[in-house]
Amino acid sequence: MFESLRPYQKDIIKQTIKSTKSTLIQIPTGAGKTIIAKEIIIDLINNHGKQILFVAPKIILMEQTAEVFKGLKPHIMHGNNAYDKKHNILISTIQTASRRDTNPDVIIIDEIHYGFDGKMIEKLIKDKPQTRIIGLSATPYDKTGRQLKGFDLILDKFDMKYMIKNKYLVPIESYVLTKLDLTGIRITAGDYDLKELGKIVCDNNTILEIVMTTKKYIIKSKKTIVFAVDIAHAELLTKAYKHEGFKAKVIHSKLNREEIKRELFLFKTGQTKILVSVLMLTTGFDVPDTDVAVIARPTKSQNLYKQMVGRIARTAENKKFATLLDCGNVIENLGLPLDKIKIIEKNENTNQQKCEKCGSENLKLKVSKNKSYWECNDCGNIKEIEQGSYECLYCKELYTSKGKFTVIKNKLYLNCKKCGYRTLISEFTGDEIFIKAESFLPFKEARNFIRRLNIKSKTAWKKYCQNNLKGHDSKPSNIPSEPAIFYQNKGWINTEDWLGIESKTIEIEVKEVKDEFLPFAEARKFVRTLKFFDRSQWDSYYLGQLKIAPIPKNIPIDPHVFYKDTGWIDYEDWFQEYLPFKEARAFARKLNLQNRNGWSQYCCSRKDKKLIKPQNIPRNPNVAYKNTGWINYKNWLTIETEKTEITYLSFEDAREYVRSLGILGNRRVWRDYWKKNSSKLKSIPYEPNKIYKNKGWVDYTDWFISKL
Contact between residue 30 and residue 169 where contact means Cβ atoms under 8 Å apart: yes
- Does 224 lie in the same domain as 116? no
The pLDDT value given to residue 366: 60
The pLDDT value given to residue 17: 92
Q: Please list, residue by residue across 488-519, b when 16 or more beta carbons sit within 10 angstroms of its beta carbon and e when fewer do.
A: eeeebeeeebbbbbeeebbeebbeeeeeebee
The pLDDT value given to residue 39: 92
- Does 189 lie in the same domain as 65? no
- Does 23 lie in the same domain as 136? yes
Range in 76-85, 181-190, 390-399, 620-629 with the lowest mean pLDDT = 390-399
Q: CA torsion 434→438→443→447, rounded to 10°?
A: -60
Domain end point (choices 637, 661, 678): 637
Please indicate, yes or no, if residue 209 is contained in any of the structural domains.
yes
Please indicate, yes or no, if residue 91 is contained in any of the structural domains.
yes
- Does 187 lie in the same domain as 332? yes
Residue pLDDT, tens place only, 526-552? 888 877 766 666 766 666 656 666 667
- Does 252 lie in the same domain as 294? yes
Q: Examine the pLDDT at 300 and tell me if it is beyond 50.
A: yes
DSSP letter string, 541-596 = HHTTSS-SS---TTS-S-HHHHTTTTT---HHHHHSPPPPHHHHHHHHHTT---SH
Q: Examine the pLDDT at 220 and tell me if it is beyond 80.
A: yes
| Per-residue confidence band for 16, with pLDDT thresholds at 50, 70 and 90 | very high
For the chain, how many structural domains are there in total?
5
Please indicate, yes or no, if residue 588 is contained in any of the structural domains.
yes
Q: How far apart are CA 656 and CA 645, in angstroms?
A: 23
Element (H, E) at 427: strand 422-427
Mean pLDDT of the chain: 78
| Per-residue confidence band for 521, with pLDDT thresholds at 50, 70 and 90 | confident
- Does 632 lie in the same domain as 699? no
- Does 314 lie in the same domain as 216? yes
The pLDDT value given to residue 72: 85
Residue pLDDT, tens place only, 32-43? 888 899 999 999
Structural domain of 285: 172-345
- Does 333 lie in the same domain as 188? yes
Please indicate, yes or no, if residue 166 is contained in any of the structural domains.
no
The pLDDT value given to residue 408: 59
| Per-residue confidence band for 429, with pLDDT thresholds at 50, 70 and 90 | very low
Please indicate, yes or no, if residue 644 is contained in any of the structural domains.
no
Please indicate, yes or no, if residue 241 is contained in any of the structural domains.
yes
Please indicate, yes or no, if residue 566 is contained in any of the structural domains.
no
The pLDDT value given to residue 592: 82
Domain end point (choices 383, 406, 434): 434
Q: Examine the pLDDT at 701 and tell me if it is beyond 80.
A: yes
The pLDDT value given to residue 349: 41
- Does 14 lie in the same domain as 128? yes
The residue that leads in pLDDT, 389 or 662, is 662
- Does 339 lie in the same domain as 312? yes
The pLDDT value given to residue 235: 92
Residue pLDDT, tens place only, 178-190? 888 887 788 776 7
Please indicate, yes or no, if residue 503 is contained in any of the structural domains.
no
Q: Examine the pLDDT at 676 and tell me if it is beyond 80.
A: yes
Domain end point (choices 434, 464, 481): 434
Residue pLDDT, tens place only, 586-615? 888 888 887 887 787 777 665 555 567 777
- Does 46 lie in the same domain as 129? yes
The pLDDT value given to residue 265: 86
The pLDDT value given to residue 241: 93
Pick the closest to residue 294 from 279, 274, 314 (CA basis).
Answer: 274
Range in 6-20, 331-345, 395-409, 568-582 with the lowest mean pLDDT = 395-409
Range in 348-352, 622-626, 666-670 with the lowest mean pLDDT = 348-352
DSSP letter string, 78-134 = -TTPPP-TT-SEEEEEHHHHHHS----SEEEETTTTTTTTSHHHHHHHTT-TT-EEE
Look at strands 398-399 and 390-391 and give their pairing. antiparallel
Q: Examine the pLDDT at 522 and tell me if it is beyond 50.
A: yes
Q: What is the CATH number of the domain that holds 98?
A: 3.40.50.300
- Does 105 lie in the same domain as 57? yes
Q: How far apart are CA 151 and CA 145, in angstroms?
A: 16
Q: What percent of the chain has pLDDT above 90? A: 14
